[in-house]
């Protein structure tokens, strides 16, 4: 039986990085989880697609707005995780996965966080949050300097 991977595919450059990751995910059944306002690229059409509310928008940046959206995303992520029953949840560098990682952790589903290849000097705010809250079972960085003696960060060459 092939493992099922639930892959968070945020918008923008993260979509390209997610597409690049597909080459590394051979031999798995893949389901995608996207922000509700994200465009579906042609490469995504071959996979089941699930939607969650994005945590923030450029127009709405208030904390209250973000907290409400976090709660909605959390609830939607619970529904997706119950429906898909993934063996792994994977995300590349975007905050949209934080609620889903929290739910997956409570459900005992392994979570893999991959820092964006664009983060050359330091971790992203999302990466720091995921790391501090212990939300990832495995935390990959794209640059060897980012390991810096941290046993919880892993560098395996360029994952993307």
Residues 6 or more apart in contact with residue 138 via CB below 8 angstroms? 110, 111, 112, 113, 154
* pLDDT tens digits for range 53-84: 988 655 566 788 888 989 999 999 999 999 99
* pLDDT tens digits for range 98-127: 999 999 999 999 999 988 755 566 777 888
Q: What is the Cα–Cα distance from 13 to 19, expressed in whole angstroms?
A: 10
**Per-domain residue ranges of the chain:** 4-154
Indicate the Cα dihedral angle 78, 111, 95, 133, nearest 10°: 100
**Chain centroid offset of residue 57 CA:** 17
Query: What's the whole-number mean pLDDT along residues 74-96?
Result: 94
Percent of residues, the chain, with pLDDT higher than 70: 82
**Chain centroid offset of residue 135 CA:** 11
**CATH for 4-154?**
3.40.50.2000
Confidence of residue 6 (pLDDT cuts 50, 70, 90): very high
């Amino acid at each position: 039986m092939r493992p099922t991977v639930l892959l968070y595919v945020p918008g923008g450059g993260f979509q390209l990085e997610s597409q690049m990751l597909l080459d590394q995910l051979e031999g798995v059944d893949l389901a995608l989880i996207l922000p509700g306002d994200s465009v579906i690229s042609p490469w995504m059409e071959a996979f089941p697609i699930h939607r969650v509310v994005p945590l923030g928008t450029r127009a709405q940046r208030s904390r209250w707005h973000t907290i409400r959206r976090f709660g909605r995303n959390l609830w939607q992520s619970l529904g997706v995780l119950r429906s898909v029953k993934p063996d792994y949840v994977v995300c590349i560098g975007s905050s949209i996965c934080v609620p889903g990682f929290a739910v997956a952790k409570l459900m005992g589903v392994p979570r893999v966080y991959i820092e964006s290849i664009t983060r050359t000097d330091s971790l992203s705010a999302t990466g720091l949050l995921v790391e501090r809250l212990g939300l990832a079972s495995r935390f990959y960085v794209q640059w060897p300097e980012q390991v810096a003696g941290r046993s919880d960060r892993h560098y395996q060459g360029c994952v993307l």
